[in-house]
C-alpha cells in the first residue's frame, strides 16, 4: 500500500499552481492551516539548495472533529499534508497523504470510514489539478 496520492502535472508556473491546489482544497471543504516552504527552510537552515517545494497542512474541520471525537490522539496525524514540488525535469508533482494508509493501521475500525471519505476528497483535489 502506498502512503500518498500523487500526480505529475507537467511544467507550470509554481505560484499559480499553488493557488489552484488551495482552491481545489477549498472546494473539498479543506482550509490550509500551515505552509512550509522547504526550499527556503533548507537554504536558511542547511545552506542546501532545493527546487520549489511546499507542504500545505490542510484540514477539513468536519472530518477532523469526527476523528478527534473518536480518538483525540489522532491529532498527531493531523492536518493532512499536501505537497507541491518541482522535479528535476521541471515538471511539478502534487502529492497528498493517503489517510487510509496513515490511520487504518491503528486498529480503530470507527476511523476507517472517515479515512476513506477523506481519501476520496484528497483524490478529488489531486485529480482537479
**Whether pLDDT at 102 is above 80:** yes
pLDDT at 106: 76
What is the domain partition of the chain in residue ranges? 4-128
d(CA 65, CA 28): 16
**In 28-111, which residue ranges form alpha helices assigned H by DSSP?**
38-46, 61-70, 99-103
User: Domain 4-128 is of which CATH architecture?
Assistant: 2-Layer Sandwich (3.30)
3 state DSSP class of 129? coil
Whether the ω angle into residue 79 lies within 30 degrees of 0, i.e. cis, is yes
pLDDT at 5: 97
What's the pLDDT tens digit per position in 31-41? 999 999 999 99
- Between 117 and 106, residue with greater pLDDT: 117
Predicted confidence band of residue 1 (pLDDT cuts 50, 70, 90) = low
**Whether pLDDT at 20 is above 80:** yes
pLDDT at 40: 98
Amino acid at each position: 500500500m502506498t502512503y500518498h496520492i500523487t500526480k505529475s502535472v507537467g511544467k507550470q508556473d509554481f505560484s499559480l499552481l499553488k493557488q489552484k491546489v488551495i482552491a481545489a482544497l477549498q472546494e473539498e471543504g479543506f482550509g490550509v492551516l500551515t505552509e512550509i516552504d522547504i526550499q527556503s527552510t533548507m537554504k536558511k537552515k542547511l545552506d542546501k539548495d532545493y527546487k520549489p517545494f511546499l507542504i500545505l497542512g490542510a484540514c477539513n474541520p468536519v472530518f477532523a472533529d469526527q476523528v478527534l471525537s473518536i480518538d483525540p490522539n489522532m491529532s498527531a496525524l493531523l492536518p493532512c499534508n499536501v505537497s507541491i514540488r518541482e522535479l528535476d525535469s521541471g515538471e511539478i508533482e502534487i502529492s497528498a497523504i493517503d489517510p487510509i494508509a496513515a490511520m487504518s493501521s491503528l486498529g480503530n475500525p470507527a476511523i476507517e470510514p472517515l479515512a476513506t471519505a477523506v481519501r476520496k476528497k484528497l483524490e478529488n483535489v489531486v485529480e482537479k489539478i
